[in-house]
Amino acid sequence: MIRIKHLSKRYKTKNQEVQAVDNVSLDIAKGEIFGVIGYSGAGKSTFVRLINRLEEPTDGSILIHDKDITKMPSNQLREKRQKIGMIFQHFNLLWSRTVYDNIAFPLEIAGVPKSKRKEKVLELINLVGLAGKENAYPSQLSGGQKQRVGIARALANDPEVLLCDEATSALDPETTDDILDLLVSINKKLGLTIILITHEMNVIQKICHRVAVMENGKVVETGEVLDVFVKPTSKTTKRFVQQLNPLEHEKDNLAAFINDREDSEVVKLHFIGDRAKRALISEVAKTFDVEINILQGSVTPTQEGAYGTLFVELIGENSVLQETIDYMKNTGVEVEVLRNV
Ligand SMILES: Nc1ncnc2c1ncn2[C@@H]1O[C@H](COP(=O)(O)OP(=O)(O)OP(=O)(O)O)[C@@H](O)[C@H]1O
């Protein structure tokens, strides 16, 4: 468990002070993939760098397995840092060393004997899918392969937590997916806690269990990914969710279907988790005397289940329409009847 309490970081420059992280408190469970999202300047990088004390906090505490790292003297901190792996947007590899030697480097620093190092490095090379590339230099690798080296190196000393600082931001979408898949498989295989920061909601959607949204150094919203996606409360979160689900904009485009006819209603259905798999539309069509016109739909998978949005027009007698809508509501699906204003 990582417990962050009232964490703050103020930078003082010549002419001004910047409150980069402002009184952040969070609990991150062991084995969890926890995402922090925010726009540029929100304080994400500072936040993640505070966790391994690459930056010194101005206030607050960070407990990793009950040990407050903000109070550790430098010799203890050096040891603790070996248990906090980190990967970076631009990989930060040693360019004059081979893949093998890059991964062996943290083991050398930790004083692991050469014979044991070899076993560990080869195990890690296999884990990240780089077998055959042991003797290549970073300049001979693709971006995705470079990040795999970064991940293997970060795992060398069996860390308790892996910090990811925009780890996929320099990669194309396909390679991003491969690296995210690798992080999920490492999380499952090793039970490793992962904290990642990103400005891309699809990264949160694909791999995180929980998310915190940062703005001006503060956490403005936090929760299970599925809950935050389905019911975003802050304005910033709503913008991120819209970025991911283009149908959130659709309401305006459907205005032409929404009319004052007695025998028609346009409804937005929101399916969450297992409900997204239910064949509700065919169920309704069999049960009620209504015609159903499907206008738009999408399903978004997350680590904790899927959520879906569907816009349909229901056509039928007014009283039957009301019954149909009540029926759908009773299944636990969120139903919003759209009106033109
Ligand atoms: N070393 C520093 N000295 C002074 N101000 C800094 C320093 N590092 C960051 N800041 C300021 O702190 C604020 C938060 O920056 P930070 O890099 O943590 O944000 P971010 O969310 O990671 O943004 P980005 O994605 O653009 O890196 C910004 O206003 C930034 O200018």
pLDDT at residue 61 in the model? 97
Indicate the domain borders of the chain: 2-244, 248-338
CATH of domain 248-338: 3.30.70.260
List the strands of the sheet with 17-28, edge to edge: 17-28, 2-12, 59-64, 67-68
CB of residue 15 inside a 6 A radius of ligand 1: no
Distance, CA 33 to ligand 1 centroid (Å)? 23
CB of residue 236 inside a 6 A radius of ligand 1: no
Per-residue pLDDT of 312-341, as tens digits, reads 999 999 899 999 999 999 988 889 888 766
Per-residue pLDDT of 119-129, as tens digits, reads 999 999 999 99
Let me know: does 37 contact 213? Beta carbons within 8 Å. yes
Whose Cα sits closest to atom 6 in ligand 1?
A: 11
Distance, CA 45 to ligand 1 centroid (Å)? 7
Per-residue pLDDT of 29-68, as tens digits, reads 999 999 999 999 999 999 999 999 999 999 999 999 889 9
Distance, CA 41 to ligand 1 centroid (Å)? 5
What's the ipTM?
A: 0.97
pLDDT at residue 250 in the model? 65
169 burial level (CB within 10 Å; 0-12, 13-18, 19+): middle
pLDDT at residue 86 in the model? 97
Is the model's pLDDT at 246 over the cut of 70? Answer: no
pLDDT at residue 254 in the model? 74
The average confidence (pLDDT) of the chain is 91
214 Cα nearest atom in ligand 1 = 21
> What value does the mean pLDDT take over residues 106-115?
93
pTM of the model: 0.86
pLDDT at residue 338 in the model? 85
pLDDT at residue 248 in the model? 64
Per-residue pLDDT of 250-302, as tens digits, reads 666 777 777 767 788 889 888 887 766 678 889 999 999 999 999 888 888 88
Choice from 7, 8, 9, 11 to test ligand 1 binding pocket (greatest atom count within 8 A of CB): 11
Per-residue pLDDT of 200-221, as tens digits, reads 999 999 999 999 999 999 999 9
> What value does the mean pLDDT take over residues 65-72?
92
Q: Quick one: three-class SS letters along the chain?
A: CEEEEEEEEEEECCCCEEEEEEEEEEEECCCCEEEEEECCCCCHHHHHHHHCCCCCCCEEEEEECCEEHHHCCHHHHHHHHCCEEEEECCCCCCCCCCHHHHHHHHHHHCCCCHHHHHHHHHHHHHHCCCCCCCCCCHHHCCHHHHHHHHHHHHHCCCCCEEEEECCCCCCCHHHHHHHHHHHHHHHHHHCCEEEEEECCHHHHHHHCCEEEEEECCEEEEEEEHHHHHHCCCCHHHHHHHHHHCHHHHHHHHCHHHCCCCCCEEEEEEEEEHHHHHCCHHHHHHHHCCCEEEEEEEEEEEECCEEEEEEEEEEECCHHHHHHHHHHHHHCCCEEEEECCC
Buried (b) or exposed (e) across 66-100, using 16+ Cβ within 10 A?
eeebbeeeeeeeeebbbebbbbbbebebeeeebbb
Question: Residue 41: CA atoms inside 13 Å, Cβ hemisphere, count?
Answer: 2
Class of domain 2-244: alpha beta
Within 8 A by CB and 6+ apart from 181, the residues are none
Distance, CA 65 to ligand 1 centroid (Å)? 28
Distance, CA 39 to ligand 1 centroid (Å)? 11
Distance, CA 156 to ligand 1 centroid (Å)? 29
Nearest to 209 by CA among 20, 83, 27, 331: 27
